[in-house]
Amino acid sequence: MQIIDNPNRASWSDILKRPTQTVNDIEGIVSEVFKDVLANGDKAIQQYTERFDKVVLENNLVTTQEIETAVATIPQKLRDAISKAKENIEAFHAAQKTNKVSLETTNGVQCWQEKRPIESVGLYIPGGTAPLFSTVLMLAAPAQIAGCNEIVLCSPPNKEGKLAPEILYAAQLCGVTKIFKVGGIQAIAGLTFGTQTIPQVYKIFGPGNQFVTVAKQLATKYGVAIDMPAGPSELLVVADKSANASYIASDLLSQAEHGVDSQVILVATSKELINKVSEEVEAQLQVLPRKAIAEKAIANSKSILVDDDATALDLINQYGPEHFIICSENEEYYVDGIRNAGSVFIGDYTPESAGDYASGTNHTLPTNGFSKAYSGVNLDSFTKSMTFQKISREGILNIGETIELMAEAEGLQAHKNAVSIRLKDLK
């Protein structure tokens, strides 16, 4: 990790750049795939699966038999662990349900708001070097709680043309209605337009690489909503001299092993701690099975020394990390002051891995600074807020003149007439 001592504020933007390509670098190929899938449906998807995933599939829909065969291979202890994680995720997301909000704003004018589920949702589950079955729980469990009718899952197949058994088990456990062996840009395009086999959905969820992130953003141009831009993983840890260097190193590496384009950052008020963490990172890195991946991510990562907590907090809010870990005696200062972060982890015994798997919070979070404007996935992500109103005779008499005056001032005579015609009948 590059160590940077007390950088001046003018240089922060450059220091905090993510190691990702720009949309302009990727949009060309994404647009090409989208146009092909729109025109040729499953045929195009089959060709891109062969090109990108190196496998030829006769049928990309996962059958009931495939699910049953895969599930039978999963050890009972892992099944129990997945079930326990699901319980915690369900408990936290079920607690996010809100009651109907109802109010009589003026005598005779009743307004209320209710949540209704999004009918059809698409879940993208990354595969590749690490099939993320935990993401199935994070997306399908709240979708099921929200009451979504159709829950469609897409994930890239392995070289044998299969999905990880754990993905299939978690999907079955959480009520996924259809599962497709399709990944990357072509999966997002399939969910956007619909094909002969893949249903068109109203909203697409899930993290992915840079190509998937841009594909999701392109999907919005065709009227499909997305959860958020959620690309390569990132983590920022803030720490002082009281922090445990080995714990911090393990957290940094836990995100670095996601992919070569992941980024981890340590912001500290102690040079001694930074040196200890650097030593720990190097030592722990040597025994990781995914050492080659983590090593490349660490090369894109930084340790930043600052003078005080106030400077640290300003820098962190400018960065807007996906995951933010606080290892400081002054933890309340950071908890109260953080404005831009996807999910926050507090104290020595709260590793980011807990949120990735089993504590209950959602791990599908905004990356690349989008935490400044976007929330992570939650129960409301799978619902829409609908407003209702009912106005009585008394109510239209009470607010009618207000509406007439405002409509006339805007030059919208038909709006005014819609009220005037009623008032005339009542007077």
Point out the annotated binding site: 124, 186, 209, 233, 255, 258, 323, 356, 410, 415
Q: Is the dihedral of CA 391, 395, 401, 406 positive or negative?
A: negative
Q: Which of 234, 257, 322, 352 is catalytic?
A: 322
Give per-residue burial for 155-186: e unless 16+ CB within 10 Å, then b. Answer: bbbbeebbbbbbbbbbbbbbebbbbbbbbbbb
Point out the annotated binding site for NAD(+): 124, 186, 209
What tokens appear for 310 in the block? Answer: 């106030």
- One-letter identity of residue 47: Q
Q: What separation in angstroms does the CA of 404 have from each of 104, 389, 399, 400, 425? A: 21, 18, 9, 6, 15
C-alpha 129/C-alpha 207 separation (Å) is 14
Residue 101: CB partners within 8 Å, gap ≥ 6?
Answer: 112, 113
Q: Which of 323, 352, 404, 408 is catalytic?
A: 323
Is there a contact between 259 and 209 (Cβ–Cβ < 8 Å)? yes
Could you confirm whether 322 is annotated as catalytic?
yes
Residue 4: CB partners within 8 Å, gap ≥ 6?
Answer: 15, 302, 303, 304, 305
- One-letter identity of residue 2: Q
Catalytic residues: 322-323
